[in-house]
Amino acid sequence: MKIIVFGIPNCDTVKRARSWLGDQGLAFEFHDFKKAGVPAAQADQWLAQLGWEKVINRAGSTWRKLDDASEAAVVDAASAAALMQQQPSVIKRPIVQWADGRLSLGFSPELFQSHL
């Protein structure tokens, strides 16, 4: 397996993560939610392994722009998955699938180093 970084290109955290990986000389694939969409099978895996409460970024601007009914409708993994398909920017970024199959959410040099 290879390292896959999932996110959107204009996200500062995704930019820092991609830069860090490049600085370490690590090859990786970038999956752009905006262009390629959210892969449903992998999204289900993220929700199962990381928890829907962590994958949905409730502090981000996309969540804050949702109407009250849309926010209230997100109550479990299935409803979170549906929102992720409709609004990919609501996903906390980046999600990284490491070469060994483990997943990580967000970026810090310490977090990424722990996966090498």
- Out of 11, 17, 74, 83, the active site residue is 11
58 tagged catalytic:
no
Say what the alpha-carbon torsion angle 16, 52, 102, 32 is, to the nearest 10 degrees: -40
Q: Which residues lie across from 29 on neighbouring strands?
A: 4
Amino acid occupying residue 25:
G
DSSP string, 23-56: HTT--EEEEEHHHH---HHHHHHHHHHH-HHHHB
- In sequence order, which residues have a C-beta less than 8 Å from that of residue 29 and are 6 or more positions away? 2, 3, 4, 5
Residues known to be catalytic: 11
